[in-house]
Structure 1
């Protein structure tokens, strides 16, 4: 897929990879969407596993997302898509998402990427606030991981 249809954010988190991965998997609801929104995330972190997320806004908004986990490599990467919902039921595709982690001198390089099927979908995601939203998510993940590292 061409980089032309991809959006991404990256952040160097001042915490070891194992701490970041633990926060990523065990405290997902705390970092997954920008506050004041909150999330209820239910992921089966295995290839073919269900991905279900509901985000709740401060004014009663509700955004439901169903999808499938395509790849889950512990401590390395999670790839998901909204092209299907449970039991491989097709739905209108928007993106393939990536959460990637790499050790970097005792810290963790986190990258969140979204690959879109079309330029229109990419532009729509940009207009929805991709950079701010996914950037805030990376910041929230970093804050939780760095705090957990300090407590260890």
Structure 2
């Protein structure tokens, strides 16, 4: 049964987990938002309570600042964040909890089974995110993440 509050992208990436993790954590500006937008990573403190802050810049000068808190991070495996709080646990208007999972592909441990999950407080918020272009936007970002990972894997 699918939770109507959850949207997700699942992908097998042709690179090992440690490389995909490195692409995600060290190269976010290269993949986080679909081109022609670009991401400016302000801070990504991957520990519980750490600040997650970035600015997405659009081609016509648009600016979308995103800030949240890391809820959990297991190196090489999992990152959980939310926009329900800003740094210092200040409540914000919650939209979602983001979960990024990095698992070795059971069929080929040289590949990564990557999942990007958006869990919303309500089904209406999930529908709004879907209407905003979740599928195409997060798929494009995942394509870009995969391209960075393949580049890093190639040396």
> In structure 2, what is the Cα distance between the partners aligned to 1:71 and 1:81?
10
RMSD over equivalenced CA pairs, Å? 1.0
How many positions carry a matched residue from both structures?
150
Report Cα offsets for 1:95-137 as digits up to 9, x if no partner.
Answer: 0001110011110011100000012111110011000011011
Length-normalised TM-score, structure 2 = 0.94
Provide the secondary structure at the position in 2 that maps to 1:125: helix
Partner of residue 90, structure 1: 91
> In structure 2, what is the Cα distance between the partners aligned to 1:86 and 1:16?
32
Length-normalised TM-score, structure 1 = 0.95
Long gaps (5+) in structure 2: none
Runs of 4+ that moved beyond 3 A: none
- Give the deviation of 1:65 after TM superposition: 0.9
> In structure 2, what is the Cα distance between the partners aligned to 1:92 and 1:118?
13
- Give the deviation of 1:83 after TM superposition: 0.4
Long gaps (5+) in structure 1: none
**Contact 2:49/2:87, CA 8 A, preserved across alignment:** no
